[in-house]
Structure 1
Amino acid sequence: MFSAPEDTYLTLQRESEGVYKEKGSKFLAFAFPVQNEEEVKEKLEVLRKKFYDARHHCYAYVLGRNRDIYRANDDGEPNHSAGDPILGQIRSHQLTNVLIVVVRYFGGTKLGVGGLITAYKTAAADSIANNEIITAVQQEKVKIDFEYLRMNEVMKLIKDYELQIIEQHFDNQCQIILKVRQKLLDELTQKISELDAVKMHVLGE
């Protein structure tokens, strides 16, 4: 069993596709790395517009480093014949922050529940196989407010911890938004608290 460091997780490198065909039915699988449920909705909306003439858009997703946010949707297929097999593939690879959608074009011949489970599972597996599984680091977004006179001290901390700057505004009162590796957060908070006229706020992921 893979044992990840406390602030890393397995996810997909990029978007990818997979396909499975059976008795005239075509199952097109689309795998996405996603960060939240808002992104899930956006990806689903794009696919529903693009494949508006498909019979079903079944999907599953898993979110969060602990893989504790998840959903499986059969979109009109028999219960547990579509969403769950897709979810099973995400879980069997221990992935998170991943959405897989399988779009089905009906070929005129019913496959039965067993046939559907095989089809959705195989299509989802193909989309993962055509991707790359990577180890990602859980990061938090933080905002640091400080007086201009503290610039050198703040920038030294950013350099020492190799932090990624997302936004910065410099004036008499300055502000920097950064990404911080989760396991460094407590240590950085302590260092910031030792500086005068410097405040840090955690904004989330």
Structure 2
Amino acid sequence: MESGREGSYRVLLSGGEGEYVEKKSRFIATLRACESEEEAVRFIEEMKKKYWDARHNCSAFVIGSRAELTRCSDDGEPSGTAGRPMLEVLTGEGIRNAAVVVTRYFGGVLLGTGGLVRAYTQAVKEGLRNCRVGRMRPGYEAVAEADYGDIGKVQYLLRERGIEPLSAEYGQNVALRLHIPAEALGILKKELADATSGRVGLEGIKEIYYIDKEAF
């Protein structure tokens, strides 16, 4: 059960904006979490309406835990100078299910292809710095049920592994609902059994992805 799990990926817990200025041209990046192509397209259209007076509203998005769907647009900039570099920032940072629009207000000075690539890349990075990012980790949801004599040992083992119970139900026994990292499942099952002489195990185990919050 523990083999064949996909790797982790990063998601936006909240979107953000950032700005980069190059030779008086303003590049405003807006990022938002999007779960589907339709949602990403609506977001892009929303930004185009908001910044209707801008020279360009270039865009990129990544959908799916393995980046199954990606799209990008240069929106009138020279081919390959805007959308593709923007997309590469998202994929390079492991970001999934997200879209970005970079709005350019032209400053009167041509930047050349290298300058455009640098500016659109940097704008997305500035936007990401103002987002809250989490990591979707492959793992398991399970319940550990212990009597009151064993619950202290169980809680100690969980703390040692950095696992915080999601909830606790107190009845005849104590039932702890847990999210367990994929790589820790087998080890934790053995440690619980060893510490309680086999009285405590993990029940209702199912595969999930769950969010670990992180600072970008």
TM over 0.5: yes
Paired residues of 2:18 and 2:126 also in contact (CA < 8 A): yes
Separation in structure 2 between the aligned mates of residue 12 and residue 124 of structure 1, nearest angstrom: 13
Q: Aligned in 2, Cα 1:47/1:133: closer, same or farther, shift over 3 Å?
A: same
SS in 2 for 1:96: coil
Q: Corresponding residue for 2:44?
A: 44
Q: Aligned in 2, Cα 1:71/1:161: closer, same or farther, shift over 3 Å?
A: same
Paired residues of 2:15 and 2:30 also in contact (CA < 8 A): yes
Q: Corresponding residue for 2:9?
A: 9
Tell me the CA shift for residue 92 of structure 1: 1.3
Tell me the CA shift for residue 133 of structure 1: 2.1
Separation in structure 1 between the aligned mates of residue 7 and residue 110 of structure 2, nearest angstrom: 45
Paired residues of 1:60 and 1:87 also in contact (CA < 8 A): yes
Q: Corresponding residue for 1:143?
A: none
Stretches (4+) displaced over 2 A: 5-9, 159-162, 181-184
Q: Corresponding residue for 1:129?
A: 129
CA RMSD of aligned residues (A): 2.7
Paired residues of 2:15 and 2:132 also in contact (CA < 8 A): no
Q: Corresponding residue for 1:111?
A: 111
Q: Please, which runs of 5 or more residues in structure 2 have no aligned partner?
A: 139-174, 179-204, 209-216
SS in 2 for 1:20: strand
User: For the pair shown, which has the larger CA radius of gyration, 1 or 2?
Assistant: 2
Q: Corresponding residue for 2:87?
A: 87
Paired residues of 2:74 and 2:83 also in contact (CA < 8 A): yes
Tell me the CA shift for residue 7 of structure 1: 7.5
Amino acid at match of 1:54: A
Tell me the CA shift for residue 182 of structure 1: 7.9
Q: Corresponding residue for 2:70?
A: 70
Tell me the CA shift for residue 6 of structure 1: 2.8
Tell me the CA shift for residue 132 of structure 1: 2.4
Equivalent residue pairs, number: 145
Q: What is the TM-score with the length of structure 1 in the denominator?
A: 0.64
Paired residues of 2:74 and 2:80 also in contact (CA < 8 A): yes
Amino acid at match of 2:129: A
Separation in structure 2 between the aligned mates of residue 26 and residue 182 of structure 1, nearest angstrom: 48
1:99 aligned onto 2:123: no
Paired residues of 1:57 and 1:75 also in contact (CA < 8 A): yes
Tell me the CA shift for residue 9 of structure 1: 2.9
Separation in structure 2 between the aligned mates of residue 22 and residue 85 of structure 1, nearest angstrom: 16
Alignment of 1:151-166 (within 5 A): none
Separation in structure 1 between the aligned mates of residue 112 and residue 206 of structure 2, nearest angstrom: 46
Q: What is the TM-score with the length of structure 2 in the denominator?
A: 0.61
